Structure 1
Amino acid sequence: MEAGGRRQQEERRRLRELRQEAVEYYRGHRVQQRVEDALNALFPLRPADLYGELANYFSKFSKAPVICRLVGRKVLDGVGQPTLEVEVYCTVKNYEKKICSIVMSSHSQIPENPLSETTEADEKERNDSVNTAVEWVNESLNTMFKNLKPTDQCEVDKMLGEYFSKKVEEKKEIQKQQEEVAEATLTLTSCTPSATALPGEKKTAKPGKKVAVAERRIPPAEPWESVLCGSLAIGGTSLAIAKAAATISHIPLYLHIALLKHDQDSPKEMTLPLPMVTLLNCEKILPAKLKLVKEVMLIPPVQLSLKQGIERVLDIQKEVMRLLEPPGKTTSPQLADSKKGRAHNTGKKALPQALKRISHLGCLITGCDNLEQPLLLMQTACNNLGLELGTDMYLAINCAAHELMDYVKGKYEILTGTFKSPEEMVDIYVELINKFPFIIALIDPLRKEDRQQWSNICYALGSKCYLIAEDAATYISKLKIDQNINIPMCSGVVLKYINQTKVSDLIELTGLLDGQRHITILGSPDRESSDDSLVDLAVGLGARFIKLGGLSRGERVTKYNRLLAIEEELAKNGTLREANLKFIAFAEESQPEKQLSDVPPPPKPEPSPPQLCPPALQVRSLPAQLPANNTLT
């Protein structure tokens, strides 16, 4: 009986527990359902989406991403030469993740007719520089930036600058030791006098023999600044980390650059740089006679969208290619006859020589016999399409005058056998712009050493066209001197992101240029890569123009495509602002400290009636001595 009673009690206890579990289950199910109903009412999302939103919310309180690894790699650029690629890996939510990569461009120029010995030496130097850069990135810089936030660009560039300065001092010390060893060796081997001339020693001229001397004394060329082997690692790491910061912040690189420039104040509107599209590369080697023009570039008017401007440039390029076809395949069209600068048929010299090949700049290569030929070719092509230069399209000329100087004669060789002094060059440009007012930019019309002539040409033409210095701005490290710009007086400069250039350097320098009312042009070097970060830099920095080469070759076209994508994005967001270009009237520079040159301005000329400019430029006709802001629309 006792055993039966205990069994009944155990059954009743088990039954109570089952009832309690059932109640708890039912109660919990109802509570869970009520919670889900409330969350669905507050957040009309699926549970998976809701959990994702909550995860994103709480991730804001997690540790910020930091750099865990840098990888340097040797890759090929657009002309098949070695260059540097930098990859950035960050620790994101405790996982290593590749964020981005960039490919650097080289500083070296591509000569038109190089010697085999020079080419071999350049290739060896380039290989050594890239190999050293890869070593720096994978070893020293990789260790240096570990656990550093990629968003701290100022600290990154400061550390890069200190590292580069250290490498420069090490190089100087090695050179000093080598010079001491060479001097000691020379002392030991020169105990007895020798009749043989030492290397570099000038031989005495024989009596009666004519010695070639300079016809006039000109400022000597500034010494070429040597490039430290491995310097690509500095610029590559700085830009790669900036791109990584933009990626982590989920914003495009151009906006990240703009925030850095404006102290994190997001710009309400942004202006796209106008493209300087290279259409012709006028080779300077025989049988071509013209040496003064290196590039002929097209600049679309600002009232067109970038897409419309590129399409118009492509139409003109196709027409130019048709005009340059060999005789027999096409009939020779009548030359341009426009209101602005009439062109007359001059027979065989009317058009340049036939098209030969595509330049590494992505444009057509042709030879010319005189200065007017490429300009008349542009007029003819535009007129055949129903377009007018000065209204529907503008021209820019890259003179590359530093390549023309004959230091024996002390003059520029503008045509084969035709030499002009620096003073005569100014007169040539004044006559050129007066005859062809649709030319709104001259790049490197003079050597950077001819500062007096830069001043003269700025006072003569500054209110009619842009006078741009490119060769003088090759090395950004030399441009910043005591909050001033160490270049001749000019309208603006072409900046290139090469070697040890850092993102902070560009931001600081463009800020100085903006403060001195001078324009910034971001330029693409000869040895370009397929990386399109240059376009984001130009947009973020607020550059007035961008010089990318022609509309051929993948490494060039990639950048134009990126520019088109940015235009579409800004237009979609409603933040695209139309460009408003103004020429610089240098007569306004009344105070010497505002001038970019240490050369005093020339005496003011006699007051003369204002020259008329094309209606498309919408220039207010003001007396020459009064300030003028000429607006290009």
Structure 2
Amino acid sequence: MSHRGFPSRVPEEQRDLDHIRSAAAEFYRATGVPQVIERALNELFFREPEDVHGYLANYFTNLCAPPRISRLKGREVYDARGQLSIEAEVFCIVCNQEKSMSSAAVSGHVGPKEASPDWKEKGRERAEHVMTAAQWINGPLNNMLQGHTPCDQSDVDHLLSDFFTARFLEDKDLRNKEKEESGPPSEPEVLPSSPVSAPTKNKKSVDKGKKSNTAEKSFPPAEPPEPVFPGSSAIGSVSLAVAKTAAKIQGTPLYKYIAALKNRTAPAQFHIPVPLVTLLSCGKTCPGKLSLLEEVILIPKAGQRVKQIITTTLELQKEMMRIMNASTKVGATQAMLCDSGALAVAYERPEQPLDLITEACTNSGLALGTEIHLALNCAAPELMDCSKGKYEVATGVLKSPDELVDMYQTLISKYPAVVALIDPFRREDIDQWEKLSNGIGDSCSLLSDLTFKSKAPPLPGVRGHILKHIHETTVSDLICITSDHQGSVLMGTTCSEPCSEDSWADIAVGLGLDYVKLGGLSGAERMAKYNRMISIEEELDQQGILASEEKHPPPLF
């Protein structure tokens, strides 16, 4: 049996082709579109693939309608601390069948860093947020995105953001209406301090070094705490799940898909953000009196591979643990791991954790200030006692904003390896930001949290920003914010709330960030992110598109 002069085949292949032609003839009669089959058979005979049926399957798969979102599914899951979180799953119709394409979850902490001492109330509030997010995903968001292509990220994120804005404004109008109906308050409303400060245990040291009342009179009032709208984490989770779905449909890694969204085409080369690793935690949730240093972060020397950085950091961490456990002076400071994935220490003064790191570096043969540097996440906004106009840097030890400036300058002078301070003041203390910046010059960079304040006026002296992918932040939001602050944006999740998503590594690489902050080196959820970063680096290197640090030097430290 011949067919328009096609090459002859062995008998087995001939029988297969006869079967195909018979099926094609039946298709001709049923559909009246023989040209599609004819084109496929022509290409088949010219290419002569080993897998005839596989070739035809792929050929006709490409003729199918593009995948469309069929439904969303929101489910309650638990994070590494056993707290409820929301996960969004995207289903699409692919080749006339519904398939689960991807799922995603973003951090959704409630309020300012667990400030409430009533953990039961905090748990109920969190459960309400997660339940609302699940209802949004399974209800209105599911109905809204059905039939939409997942490959149009801008359109999907626009719909998600509009939905959130409408819900937020509805809630705001309802609250205003309730206030009007209840009548004017008998006394002026006083905004609560953000966050609630822990009660001081030692009253003797509160007023030491007290200055004139002029500074207290000009103390700027606290901004209202940033609202965390119930259900908001549904927006960020769905946006990321849709992005992962689109990358899967296009057969490309997520980081390349995000890079193409940001740059309108995939760049010729990629660079790996420098990972900033949390070494120590001394915050309010850790043992000891010291609250000022929520995190002490290791900044590795640029140009190293991620695996090398992790190996060096783990060796340093082991030496720190050995010193802490062997010390007789700090019997209560036995080595332990906290929620940030780093070592928790019980100290009273900010010099003590820095002395520990200095000793460990010396014992390990690491040149502190050359091979590695340090960043201090001060988290000062969490320490403000607005009733006194001072920061409670340790239990019973309060510092005015100007006194805190002097304290930072002393630390940086004594420990030149400290090259970055994160959130050293509240945003309201603009004079102190400027004073500290002028005092330290280029020896140390000031960084601030950009997550909720992307449209706020810039702070004096700030050279970089922390950006977290939480709540209603969409992938398009991340692209927009990082485009406006190109080259100086850090990436990280909340310090105390790990998330199982290893996509953070892809997001950081795809956005072209210079640094990524993923927490300490413990816990499966955090190490999954570091392992993903290693995989991306190896993949880029094998493809010959890994940019060298000489061509892309990090801008800050």
Q: TM-score range by the shorter chain?
A: 0.7 to 0.9
Alignment of structure 1 residues 372-387 onto 2, 5 Å: 372-387=351-366
Distance 1:39 1:102, change over 3 A: closer
Q: Which residue among 475, 479, 485 is the counterpart of 2:454?
A: 479
1:438 pairs with 2:417: yes
Q: Distance in 1 between matches of 2:373 and 2:331?
A: 20
Partner of 2:371: 392
Distance 2:114 2:247 in 1: 39
**Residue by residue, what CA displacement relative to the aligned partner does 1:255-280 show, whole Å, maximum 9, x if unpaired?**
111110001x1111111111111111
Corresponding residue of 2:130: 130
Q: 1:83 aligns with which of 82, 85, 90?
A: 85
Residue 320 of structure 1, CA deviation: 0.6
In the TM superposition, residue 415 of structure 1 has moved relative to its aligned partner by 4.0
Report if aligned partners of 1:112, 1:283 keep a CA contact under 8 Å in 2.
no
Contact kept? 1:492, 1:520, Cα under 8 Å: yes
User: Are residues 113 and 94 of structure 1, via their aligned partners in 2, closer, same or farther at CA, if it must alter by over 3 Å?
Assistant: closer
Paired AA for residue 91 in structure 2: Y
Aligned AA for 1:425? L
What residue in structure 1 maps to residue 26 of structure 2?
Answer: none
Aligned match of 2:22: none
Q: 1:530 to 1:43 in 2, by over 3 A?
A: same
Ranges in structure 1 where 5+ consecutive residues have no aligned partner = 1-23, 187-196, 202-211, 329-347, 585-631
Matched, 1:469 2:448: yes
Q: Deviations over 1:497-542 (max 9, x none)?
A: 111111111100100001xxx6111111122221112221111111
- Taking the TM superposition and a 5 Å limit, the aligned residue runs for 1:76-475 are 76-108=78-110, 115=117, 118-183=118-183, 215-263=216-264, 265-284=265-284, 288-327=288-327, 348=329, 354-355=333-334, 357-470=336-449, 473-475=450-452
| Map of 2:473 onto structure 1 | 501
Change (3 A) 1:379 1:44: farther
Q: Is the 2:6–2:45 contact (alpha carbons within 8 Å) kept by the matching residues of 1?
A: no
Deviation at 1:461, TM superposition (A): 3.1
Query: Residue deviations 1:563-592, cap 9 Å, x none?
Result: 1111111111111123444556xxxxxxxx
Q: Give me the whole-angstrom Cα distance separating, in 2, the residues matched to 1:503 and 1:155.
A: 11
Q: Distance in 2 between matches of 1:562 and 1:428?
A: 39
Residue in 2 that maps onto 1:542: 512
TM-score (norm 1): 0.73
Question: Aligned partner of 1:509: which letter?
Answer: I
Specify the SS of the correspondent of 1:432. Answer: helix
Asked if 2 retains the 8 angstrom alpha-carbon contact of 1:396 and 1:440, the reply is: yes
Indicate yes or no: 2:524 matched with 1:554: yes
Q: Deviations over 1:26-81 (max 9, x none)?
A: 999995559979999954642x2x43234324433321111111111111112111
Say if 1:177 and 1:316 are closer, same or farther in 2 by CA, change over 3 A: same
| Secondary structure at 2:392 match in 1 | strand
Distance 1:368 1:295 in 2: 13
Judge conservation of contact 1:130–1:230 (CA < 8 Å) in 2: yes
- Residues in 2 aligned to 1:27 and 1:175: alpha-carbon distance in whole angstroms: 77
Following TM superposition, by how much is the alpha carbon of 1:200 offset from its aligned partner in structure 2, in angstroms?
7.4
Inter-CA distance 486–236: structure 2 relative to 1 (3 Å threshold): farther
Query: Which range is displaced more, 569-578 or 459-468?
Result: 459-468
Secondary structure of 1:277's counterpart equals: strand
For residue 55 of structure 1, the aligned residue among 54, 57, 61 is: 57
Contact 2:321 2:335 in 1 (8 A): no
Counterparts of 1:488 and 1:224, CA distance in 2: 22
Q: Distance in 1 between matches of 2:103 and 2:319?
A: 39
User: Alignment partner of 1:354: what SS?
Assistant: coil
Structure 2 CA distance for partners of 1:380 and 1:55, relative to 1, 3 Å: same
**Could you tell which deviates more after superposition, 412-421 or 64-73?**
412-421
Aligned-partner SS, 1:175: helix
Query: Which AA in structure 2 matches 1:474?
Result: T
Tell me how far apart the structure 2 counterparts of residues 257 and 310 of structure 1 sit (CA, whole Å): 26
Post-superposition CA distance 1:299-349 (Å, at most 9, x none): 221132110010000000111111111557xxxxxxxxxxxxxxxxxxx4x
Rg larger in structure? 1
> In 1, Cα distance between the equivalents of 2:225 and 2:245?
34
Separation in structure 1 between the aligned mates of residue 499 and residue 286 of structure 2, nearest angstrom? 30
Distance of 2:89 and 2:285 partners within structure 1: 41
Alpha-carbon spacing, 1:241–1:420, altered in 2? closer, same or farther (3 Å): same
CA 1:435–1:60 in 2, change beyond 3 Å: closer, same or farther? Answer: same
Q: Say if 1:106 and 1:528, in contact at 8 Å, map to a contact too.
A: no
Runs (4+) of structure 1 exceeding 6 A deviation are 24-30, 34-41, 197-201
Q: Is the 8 A contact 1:448 1:488 kept in 2?
A: no
Where does the alignment leave 5 or more consecutive residues of structure 2 unmatched?
A: 18-41, 191-206, 208-212
Q: What amino acid maps onto 2:529 in structure 1?
A: K
Q: Which amino acid aligns with 2:255?
A: Y
Given the superposition, is the C-alpha separation of residues 487 and 85 from structure 1 closer, same or farther in structure 2, using an over 3 Å criterion? Answer: farther
Q: Is the 8 A contact 1:352 1:374 kept in 2?
A: no
Q: Alpha carbons of 1:216 and 1:152: their partners in 2 closer, same or farther (altered >3 Å)?
A: same
Q: Deviations over 1:116-161 (max 9, x none)?
A: xx21222111111111111111111111111111000111011111
Letter in 2 for 1:262: N
2:393 partner SS: strand
The alpha carbon displacement at 1:109 in A equals: 6.5
Residues in 2 aligned to 1:79 and 1:551: alpha-carbon distance in whole angstroms = 16
1:41 and 1:388, CA in 2 relative to 1: closer, same or farther beyond 3 A? same
Contact kept in structure 2, 1:368 and 1:374, CA below 8 Å: yes
- 1:71 alignment partner in structure 2: 73
Paired residue for 2:488, among 512, 519, 536? 519
Is residue 548–residue 556 contact of structure 1 (8 Å, CA) maintained in 2? yes
- Count the aligned residue pairs: 505
Q: Could you tell me which amino acid in structure 2 is paired with residue 533 of structure 1?
A: S
Distance 1:87 1:229, change over 3 A: same
Does the CA-based 8 Å contact 2:505-2:533 persist in structure 1?
A: yes
Aligned-partner Cα distance in 2 for 1:493–1:385: 31
The 3-state SS of whatever aligns with 1:241 is helix
Give the residue type in structure 2 aligned to 1:556: R
Structural RMSD (CA): 3.1
- Contact 1:379-1:388 within 8 A present in 2 as well: no
Q: Alignment partner of 2:183: what SS?
A: helix
C-alpha distance in 2, partners of 1:555/1:508? Answer: 27
Partners of 1:466 and 1:583 within 8 A in 2: no
Counterparts of 1:102 and 1:174, CA distance in 2: 32
> CA 1:44 to 1:405, structure 2 compared with 1: closer, same or farther past 3 Å?
same
Corresponding letter in the other structure for 2:404 = M
1:564 lines up with 2:534 in the alignment? yes
Separation in 2 of the partners of 1:544 and 1:491? 13
Question: Counterpart of 1:270 in 2: which secondary structure?
Answer: coil
Alignment partner of 2:428: what SS? coil
